Chains A and B, each alone.
Chain A
Amino acid sequence: MNTQEPKVTVIDDDPSVRKAIARLLQSAGLQVATHASAQEYLEQYDPDAPGCLVLDLAMPDLNGLALQDALATRGNPPPIIFLTGQATVPDSVLALKHGAADFLTKPVDESTLLEAVRSAIAKDRTERSKRAEDAEIAQRMAMLTPREVQVLRYVVAGNLNKQIASELGTVEKTIKVHRARVMEKLKVQSLAELVMLAAQAGITASHAPTIHA
């Protein structure tokens, strides 16, 4: 889990606008970084740094939309709040289609901006923690042997040990051992937990034929 403070990065080629927005965000207790151009930002881009972007749409050389594309190709882009002096419908549609968090027209009132920034940060946090959790589960899953994965699939499908042993041509006791291992490796205490984790990890259930005792 990443423990860095979220940071708002302001990118605007107009120094006074850049400075003013940074101040406002700072006054609201936010961590702020500023850049005069999209290139400058890309050069020091840290995908692991949490936060969001406040990005001017119209900039020389590399404009806001171009930066959005560039970040998208690198994967897991931070949420982007676009600012524009002259919003055109095609630009805003394009930006939102490509996942813009928000699209604001200058001048922007603090409440609007701060709300947009906070929700973007929250979104980023959610996404990041989800990504971290997924990674953790994936890591645990990777510790299972293929046999254990087989057993897990039957378990999450609700089969009894006896049924699983029969399906796999072994004894119930062996299945019991596998099951305990899986619970241990995946760090779960109950069957319910195990089922949820498996679902989270995308493990599909294997159903054994119904055995009538």
Chain B
Amino acid sequence: MGLNLINDVWLLVAGACLGATVIYFLPSPIQTRRLTSNRTALHESQRRMDLASEAAAVGIWEWDFERDDIWVTDQTRILYGFGPKEPINLNRFLSALHEEDRDAVREAVTQSLKDGARFQREYRIALPDGRVNWVVTRGRVEVGAEEKRSVMRGISLDISERKLANERFREVVEAAPTGMLIIGADGRITLVNAQVEKDFGYSRRELIGQPVEMLIPGRFHTQHLQHRARFSAAMSARPMAINRDIFGLRKDGTEIPLEIGLNPIHGSAGVEVLASIVDISERKRREDQLHEDRAFLRQVIDINPNLIFTKDRQGRFTLANQALANIYGTTVEGLVGKTDADFNPNADEVTWFHKLDMEVLDTLQKRFILEEHVTAANGKVHWLETVKLPVLNADGTADHLLGTAVDITERKQVELDLAQQRNELAHLSRVMMLSELSGSVAHELNQPLMAILSNAQAALRFLAQPDPDLDEIREILRDIVNDDKRAGEVIQGLRLLLKKGEIRMEPLDSNEVVEDVLKLLRSDMLNAGVICTIKLAPDLPQINGIRVQIQQVLINLIANACDAMMDTVAAERRLLITTTLDSSNCVQIGVSDQGHGIPADGLERVFESFFTTKQQGLGLGLAVCRKIVDAHGGQLWAANNAGGGASFYVAVPAYAGVQNEHAGT
């Protein structure tokens, strides 16, 4: 047993002070005393013991509890603040202790004596100078082993520094904003900090010493025990529950989502585990919220009937909504990473879309596309009104664009239907107008026919002469050709006026249109005795219009003007036709007469359907004219002249060239 004690002390000293690297030989003082009667040897032994004790900062003691006499080394005296020769007994020993620890130590000593158990205790010593030292003391009762004495032997070691470090560690742990738990090898909680108390709603008193499963919902217990066993087998610092939600159980029975990091701590009490615990309720809530928000936004863009998408420079969709997926006959997921070309059978459209996309990305300018069309997977053509804008990077460049498009197919269809109705009405009105003009038209046709016939017959006569003048005949033939062309133009013009369908907008020269119309109306004006003056502005911009309809408007206005001057004295039957460019960049055509004028309340009413002042007339002419001019984005209005008579004006915006219009329309 003595050897055991020696070994114990030896190990304790080594373990407590220096770790495993340096080992002191430390003979038992009693053994020493018994082994030699030689005072020198004894003295030497005592000196060595003191040296060792001092060097190791270990106080060695032996308590003969039957005589209540405690033998101590010098280091022990220093440690406890005992005087150099002062005799020490249990009470004196206890008096050196911090008063808060005294009773507990006394109790433990009594307990050790009673059951012979090993004594181990950490406590504080209140030194006479007011300092407080922490020591750890270990001892063992030896009953009648040597010299028939029963003693308790042991050591005391200054652990103030360790305690201080411990205390700092505790303070740090305590103050840590994350919850910290230390779990002993037996799975019981040995330390908790304030954050844990706060997170779980327990006080630390309730937690210390309890199995850690107390903080885990029941359904995870089995699983947790397995995990803990596995962790113990291969300990390394790691986060818990990767890719898995873990929950803690609060005192009130509610659960909180946690993120836990595990660190093994190798200490005197075996391997403990430091668990750092973060309550991620808030983060989780935010994540859930974010997730919910995203899902909500996804829903919002998916239920939106407009097309919404983002694309990269390669034209690949990086996001697309259900409306677009429907058109392309796929799913929103199916669109991502694909381009228009993967779904759209119309190559022109694909080229057009890409061209515009690149423009937006390169110029960084938002683009409005008033009308474009996209061919759906089922072949149906959808009309769109689209906005595309660049999504700017931090450096001001753009690799993505955001697009939204309103499906205006229905609106477009209504527009097309209306346009068709309008065109049909315009046509009907033109046919009626032409039947009124038929005399004039006949004249225009008869003039060249007359010239052709006369020329041809003259030529025949010349040829019948003995020595025909061939130069003359050549000239006649040339004139015939020209007059034939002239007749052809009249017929062509008529055919255009009467033609139905295939109506298209084209850039028109207003002056040319005016002159064409005057050619057609020339003889009517002659018959009506109307003197026509034209003042055409040079270098007018073109207008975008349907030629035949603009002609129709002018024919109507001029015919009305002539009718209005029926009662005007012959010399005053003057018609003035002007073209000008007004301040709002509209080409304005004016038709002014010297007729009876229009009553003030009729200036607007003349444009109403079935409003007419004429005996024969449906009153549709001007109403149709206004519809035509409206459809050209222009205006048609009437005004009375200061010097008598009325003027009608048509103003149509100058044509600015192709502008945001789909080339393929």
Residues of A within 8 A of B (CB): 14, 16-17, 19-21, 23-24, 26-28, 58-61, 63, 83, 85-86, 88, 105-110, 113
Contacts and interface: CB of A to CB of B under 8 A. Distances in A.
Contacts of A17: 447, 450-451, 454
27 contacts: A14-B447, A16-B448, A16-B479, A16-B483, A17-B447, A20-B451, A23-B454, A23-B458, A27-B457, A27-B459, A58-B526, A58-B527, A63-B526, A63-B529, A83-B450, A85-B442, A86-B440, A86-B442, A86-B446, A88-B439, A106-B447, A107-B446, A107-B454, A108-B454, A109-B457, A110-B453, A113-B454
A19 B461 contact: no
A21 B523 contact: no
B523 A20 contact: no
A26 B526 contact: no
B526 A20 contact: no
Secondary structure at chain B's binding surface: helix, strand, loop or mixed? helix
A85 B446 contact: yes
A24 B458 contact: yes
B425 interface: no
B462 interface: yes
Contacts of A105: 446
Contacts of A110: 453-454, 457-458, 461
A24 B454 contact: yes
A107 B450 contact: yes
A90 B597 CA distance: 28
B440 A20 contact: no
B361 to A, nearest CB: 62
Interface residues of B, number: 32
Interface string B425-451: 000000000000001101110111111
B193 interface: no
A108 B458 CA distance: 13
Q: Which 10 A-B pairs have the closest CB atoms?
A: A85-B443, A27-B461, A20-B454, A106-B450, A23-B458, A20-B451, A85-B446, A110-B457, A107-B450, A24-B458
Contacts of A106: 446-447, 449-450
B616 to A, nearest CB: 16
B479 A24 contact: no
Nearest to B482: A16
Contacts of A20: 450-455, 458, 479, 483
Given A86-B443, A105-B446, 20 more contacts: A14-B447, A16-B448, A16-B482, A16-B483, A17-B451, A20-B451, A20-B483, A23-B454, A23-B458, A23-B472, A23-B476, A24-B454, A27-B462, A85-B444, A86-B442, A86-B446, A86-B523, A108-B453, A110-B454, A110-B458
Nearest to A108: B450
A139 B67 CA distance: 204
B531 interface: yes
A20 B450 CA distance: 8
Nearest to A28: B461
A26 B479 contact: no
A110 B454 CA distance: 7
A24 B476 CA distance: 10
Nearest to A91: B527
Contacts of B476: 23
Contacts of B440: 86
A26 B527 CA distance: 30
Contacts of A16: 447-448, 451, 479, 482-483, 486
Nearest to B526: A58
Nearest to B440: A86
Nearest to A18: B451
Contact of A85 (B455, B465, B523): B523
Which of A21, A23, A105, A107 is the most central at the interface, judged by chain B CB atoms within 10 Å of its CB? A23
Contacts of A60: 526, 531
A14 B512 CA distance: 21
Contacts of B455: 20, 23-24
Contact of B479 (A19, A83, A107, A109): A19
B351 to A, nearest CB: 52
A85 B487 CA distance: 13
Nearest to A16: B451
Given A23-B455, A85-B443, A107 B449 contact: yes
Interface string B520-561: 000100110101000000000000000000000000000000
Contacts of B452: 20, 107
A115 to B, nearest CB: 13
Nearest to B465: A27
Contact of A107 (B453, B458, B459, B523): B453
A88 to B, nearest CB: 8
B127 to A, nearest CB: 139
